[in-house]
Amino acid sequence: MRVVSFNVNGIRAILGKDFKESFEKLEADIFVIEESKYSEDSHDKFPFMPEGYNTYWTVSKLRKGYSGVTIFAKKEPLSVHYGLDDGKYDDEGRVITLEYDNFYMVGCYVPNAGEELKRLDFRMEFEKDLVKYLNRLNENKPVIYTGDLNVAHNRIDLKNPDSNTHNAGYTKEERDAFTNLLSNGYIDVWRTLHPEEVKYSWWSYRFHAREKNSGWRIDYFVVSERLMDKVVASDIHNDIFGSDHCPISLDINL
């Protein structure tokens, strides 16, 4: 089974940039997109509904053209859940969970701490709620958790760690929260398979960052520890364009 995650930075924008070709090339069984920036009252269906897939999406109810997660899945799930426990954070369209026979698929767009870290407290609250939610799922079935997690965990995960110590995505609080998540029985798949490799999944649109490969690894596959022996491969597809992020993939025998 192949799972792909891709922050598209606007579904309508990327549809004009060969997204359909990239979608087909990646041959995913489950394809998660973040930051779809889709508003439910602007259309009667999602702008991209690939044949052979079930499509599930959530949107920001607070602001049009903001946030949003979508999952395309070949196999229909047993259940679909939006938000975390009790639907928390669904008003920002941040999380979708698909339940299958032997695992949960959780697609997520983690809140950005923002300029001057104005949303850092909100972000930290989200992280606490997220761990509780994933742990509850994990007690029942193992979890595949993916998305734009908006954190570069270690120095190797971004080009300029020293100058970004107090910037969103690389604060001690955010990195510690990711460490805490992993300590609850989860694995950062790509880093485990590629312990020394430098590869990024996001680049600023400024200063020709992608041309210079001055980027960050902030998109992840995190799996329950008991799934790691079923993982075949994981990759960061930085040869695919169309967004300020690139897709990531997970191949797993389930």
The residues that are catalytic are: 109, 148
- CA-based nearest residue to 187, from 220, 216, 219, 236: 220
CB 243 within 8 A of CB 5: no
- Number of Cβ within 10 Å of residue 55's Cβ equals 14
Query: Who's near 19: CB < 8 A, 6+ residues apart?
Result: 8, 48, 242
CB 188 within 8 A of CB 218: no
Q: Compute the distance between CA of residue 65 and CA of residue 163 in angstroms, rounded to an integer.
A: 31
Tokens at residue 147, please?
A: 């998305």
CB 48 within 8 A of CB 15: yes
Looking at this protein, which amino acid is placed at residue 175?
R
Tokens at residue 153, please?
A: 């965990």
